[in-house]
Structure 1
Amino acid sequence: MAIDFTLSSEQRALQASARAFAQEVLAPVVREADAETDPLAAFQRTKEAYVAAYRAGIAFCMLPKKYGGGGLSNVELILAAEEICAVDPGFACTILVNGLGLLPVWYWGSEEQQERFLRPATSDPSGEYLVGYAVSEPAGSPGGTANFDTPEPAPVGIGVTATLDGDSYVLNGRKYWPCNVAGWDGKGANASIVVVRTDPSKGGTEGLSAIMIERGTPGVSYRLISKMGHRLTPNAEIVFDNARVPANNLIEGTRGNGDLLINRNFAWSGPVAGIAAVGVARSAYEAALDWARTYTAGGPSPIINHQYVGYVLGDVAAQIEACRYLCWKTAHFLDRHDYHGELIGAMCKIHCTEALFASVYKCLQVVGVNSLDTRHNFEKLLREAAVFPLYDAGNFGMQRRRVHGVMASPDFNPRALMDDEFVPFTKQMEEIDTVPGYAETPLPTQRAKPARAPTKV
């Protein structure tokens, strides 16, 4: 059979290992950490679990074995991610961001840069190594990362500038919402990749590049953000004040194409965000089902015997299954197409996160007013589910814009995903919807070849 949804023995073992870690190591710390009001202290409560994940090969499982990583395929990654996200998606997000920070070095970095930044991440004797990913910026006029892909001239779009001065770049500006960047002590991750404007005369998608910022760089400060959900992953504001960074920290293959790095990263994270929503919805569904099997609401038998409860839970179960397989399909597409899947990655993230937020709320309705009692954990599941449509490029704008940009091409093949064909993503596709009436010229048809395509794992 050409299509087989049966996991191999190796995949089942990976899934079981991730499930055991999530239940035995992570779960015992989640409730108290989530209840911690200080965001840095909440994150620090997960440190022992993170070190355990590092030693188990989870923290950098997405990096190639050549550099000491786990070498997992994208399909294998999401099989493991679902189990961790079912316990706490914030903790899983911390691990995801390690990939967002270092995979671009693998895609576009020189061999020297790959050795310099990937090898230390996978060989830290303390097991605490943490990598940040910094793109998002504060809203303002101008400002706001959601408008990084407008074609308008400077100063619209990403505003953090990197000015070459001798053998260093000097960074100035602010980022807001980047994850992991503040590290375990609020003073910086071991390394963070930052998308900056290396050509300040340009705006929008032009003149953007990615540069690695190492812990201890003078002129960089952080402030942790307290959030409604995903409280166990650290988001922060960064201020760059004449921060000097070695010029050879700029990832050469990203020079002038930092916008394409952003979109390729979102393609990779699409099925991971989708499977995170699956994990949270699965937890809500199983808890609601258990409740319905025993709770009578004062009636003669458990409420599972009532038609409405059975129908609602049946619909939720179907959504979970459908979304899980869309995530598998998306991850498989990424594995087959050099980690490019800008169209299907966005589709997966949008559909799964929105469908499953609704599913989680339906589970609360089944449980009723008792779902508001924090003892039962439903309120946390709802808080976590609310994050998914809003983060990792919000669905209401950035993600849908990427889908629209691809589909608007005169050469778009509506059966490409069905036929497992590569779908190109270009700068013109980024610019759609950002300025009314813009980009009336035909979009190019050729495949945009990355500066360095990754090796299959």
Structure 2
Amino acid sequence: MAIDFTLSDAQKKVQHDARDFAEGVLAPAVRDADREPDPLKAFQRTKPVYVEAYKAGIAFCMLPKQYGGGGLTNVELILAAEEICAVDPGFACTVLVNGLGLLPVWYWGTEKQKSEVLGAATSDPTGEWIAGYGASEPAGSPGGTANFDTPLPQPAGIGVTARFDGDCYVVNGRKYWPCNVGGWDNRGANTSLYVVRTDPEKGGTEGLAALLVDRDTPGVTFNTIDSFGHRLTPNSEVIFDNARVPVENIVEGTKGNGDLLINRNFAWSGPVAGIAAVGVARAAYEAALSWAKTFTAGGPHPIIHHQYVGYVLGDVAGKIEAARYFCWKAAHYIDQHDYHGELIGAMNKVFCTETLFDAVYKCLQVVGVNSADRKHDFEKYLREAAIFPIYDGGNFGMQRRRVHGIIADPTFDPRALMDDEYVEFTKQMETIDTVAAPTAVAV
């Protein structure tokens, strides 16, 4: 039988090991850390947990074994991620961003960059090594990064510039929302991968590249953002003021291809975000079901025996199952197609995060006003679920536009995903929706 949803023994071990870590190591730290008002201190409270994750091989499980990583397939990564996200998706996001920052080095870096950067990440005796990833920029007019691949030159699209100067790139501008980049103390992650504009005269399909910026680089400062969800992962404003970065820190294969890097990164992370939504919805559903089986609301029987409660929770359970298997399909597709899945990754992220936000809210409705009491975790589930559709390449700003660009292409086969055929993503599929359409002329 070609299709079999039974997990292998190896896959079950990955799942169960991740569950043991999430429930035994991560869970005891979550409540106090999440309620810490200072966002940097909230993140710092997870440092001992991160060190344990590093020692357990979780922190860099997505990197190839050749360079010291865990060598997990994307399907195995998804199985582990659900267990961790059911306890706290913010901590899981910190681990995810290690992949966003370093997988492009594996895809496009020189052999020297791969061995040095990936080797350093996976051989730290302290277990504190962390990578950052920075594409997003501040809102403004122009501003933001939803139109990163616009064919227009500056100031449209990516605004951070890296000007070649002798043996360095001189970097100026601001990023906003990048994760992990400030490191544990706002002096920087061990290294961070930033998408920058190396040629301001060219548009986003030609003038972007990825630059590795190391910890304590002069001219780089960080301000931690105070977000309402995913509080155990650090988002930052980054200010570059004539920061000088060695020329060898540019990721060689990304020259002129920073646009493709962003799309490929968010394709890879699509099912990870999708399964994170599954994990949070699962936790909310299990908590609501337990509540419904014991709470009577003053009546003679627990409320699970009321039709509305039973129907709603049954619908939620069905949505969780559907989303989980879509994530498995997307991860398997990415494994089969050389870590490309620009179409299915975007579709998966949009569908799962929006479907399960509604599912989480339905769980709060079942519990009623008591879900607003912070002694329970329902308000946290709602805060976490609300982040998914707007982060990791916003569903409106980046993900749907990628789908639009692919399906609008004349070569697109609408049955490709059903037949597990490779859907190539090209520069010709970019720029859609990034330039205002010409005004129609009345006839």
Band the TM-score falls in, shorter-chain normalisation: over 0.9
> Given the two structures, how large is their TM-score scaled by the length of structure 2?
0.98
Q: Secondary structure at the match of 1:405?
A: helix
Q: Secondary structure at the match of 2:389?
A: coil
In structure 1, the residue matched to 2:341 is 341
In structure 1, the residue matched to 2:42 is 42
Q: Secondary structure at the match of 1:374?
A: coil
Q: Determine the C-alpha separation between the residues in 1 that align with 2:110 and 2:435.
A: 36
Long gaps (5+) in structure 2:
439-443
Alignment of 1:115-154 (within 5 A): 115-154=115-154
Q: Secondary structure at the match of 2:390?
A: coil
Q: Determine the C-alpha separation between the residues in 2 that align with 1:184 and 1:313.
A: 40
Q: Secondary structure at the match of 1:432?
A: coil
In structure 2, the residue matched to 1:259 is 259
In structure 2, the residue matched to 1:192 is 192
1:403 aligns with 2:408: no
Give the deviation of 1:149 after TM superposition. Answer: 1.8
Alignment of 1:151-230 (within 5 A): 151-230=151-230
1:384 aligns with 2:384: yes
In structure 2, the residue matched to 1:107 is 107
Q: Determine the C-alpha separation between the residues in 1 that align with 2:427 and 2:228.
A: 34
Q: Secondary structure at the match of 1:375?
A: coil
Give the deviation of 1:216 after TM superposition. Answer: 1.3
In structure 1, the residue matched to 2:286 is 286
Deviations 1:186-217 (A, max 9, x none): 11000000100011212333200001001111
In structure 2, the residue matched to 1:451 is none
Give the deviation of 1:127 after TM superposition. Answer: 0.1
In structure 2, the residue matched to 1:29 is 29
8 Å contact kept, 1:343–1:403: yes
Q: Determine the C-alpha separation between the residues in 2 that align with 1:44 and 1:153.
A: 39
8 Å contact kept, 2:151–2:202: no
Alignment of 1:32-111 (within 5 A): 32-111=32-111
Q: Determine the C-alpha separation between the residues in 2 that align with 1:412 and 1:203.
A: 25
- Aligned CA-pair RMSD: 0.8
Alignment of 1:239-250 (within 5 A): 239-250=239-250
Q: Determine the C-alpha separation between the residues in 1 that align with 2:154 and 2:235.
A: 27
1:92 partner letter: A
Q: Secondary structure at the match of 1:417?
A: coil
In structure 2, the residue matched to 1:427 is 427
2:355 partner letter: A
1:5 partner letter: F
Q: Determine the C-alpha separation between the residues in 1 that align with 2:147 and 2:339.
A: 24
Q: Secondary structure at the match of 2:382?
A: helix
Give the deviation of 1:426 after TM superposition. Answer: 1.4
8 Å contact kept, 1:150–1:156: yes
Q: Secondary structure at the match of 1:266?
A: helix
8 Å contact kept, 1:145–1:157: yes
Deviations 1:217-236 (A, max 9, x none): 11100000000000000000
Give the deviation of 1:396 after TM superposition. Answer: 1.6
Give the deviation of 1:154 after TM superposition. Answer: 2.2
Q: Secondary structure at the match of 2:163?
A: strand
Q: Secondary structure at the match of 1:362?
A: helix
8 Å contact kept, 1:155–1:202: no
8 Å contact kept, 2:224–2:234: yes
Deviations 1:117-162 (A, max 9, x none): 1000000000000000000000112221112122223221101100
Q: Determine the C-alpha separation between the residues in 1 that align with 2:326 and 2:128.
A: 33
In structure 1, the residue matched to 2:330 is 330
Give the deviation of 1:341 after TM superposition. Answer: 0.3
Deviations 1:155-195 (A, max 9, x none): 21101100111111110000000000000011100000010
8 Å contact kept, 1:292–1:304: yes
Q: Determine the C-alpha separation between the residues in 1 that align with 2:153 and 2:57.
A: 44
Deviations 1:38-63 (A, max 9, x none): 01000000000000000000000000
8 Å contact kept, 1:155–1:203: no
Q: Secondary structure at the match of 1:120?
A: helix
In structure 1, the residue matched to 2:270 is 270
1:310 aligns with 2:310: yes
Long gaps (5+) in structure 1:
439-457
Q: Secondary structure at the match of 1:318?
A: helix
Q: Determine the C-alpha separation between the residues in 2 that align with 1:258 and 1:396.
A: 20
1:349 partner letter: K
In structure 1, the residue matched to 2:235 is 235
Q: Determine the C-alpha separation between the residues in 2 that align with 1:52 and 1:322.
A: 32
Q: Determine the C-alpha separation between the residues in 2 that align with 1:70 and 1:47.
A: 20
Q: Determine the C-alpha separation between the residues in 1 that align with 2:141 and 2:428.
A: 23
8 Å contact kept, 1:101–1:193: yes
Give the deviation of 1:397 after TM superposition. Answer: 2.7
8 Å contact kept, 2:220–2:241: yes
8 Å contact kept, 1:154–1:204: no
Q: Determine the C-alpha separation between the residues in 2 that align with 1:64 and 1:189.
A: 21
Q: Determine the C-alpha separation between the residues in 1 that align with 2:192 and 2:224.
A: 16
> Given the two structures, how large is their TM-score scaled by the length of structure 1?
0.95
1:197 partner letter: R
Q: Determine the C-alpha separation between the residues in 1 that align with 2:262 and 2:271.
A: 15
Give the deviation of 1:242 after TM superposition. Answer: 0.6
Deviations 1:388-430 (A, max 9, x none): 0000111123111100100001111000000111101112212
1:169 partner letter: Y
1:358 aligns with 2:391: no
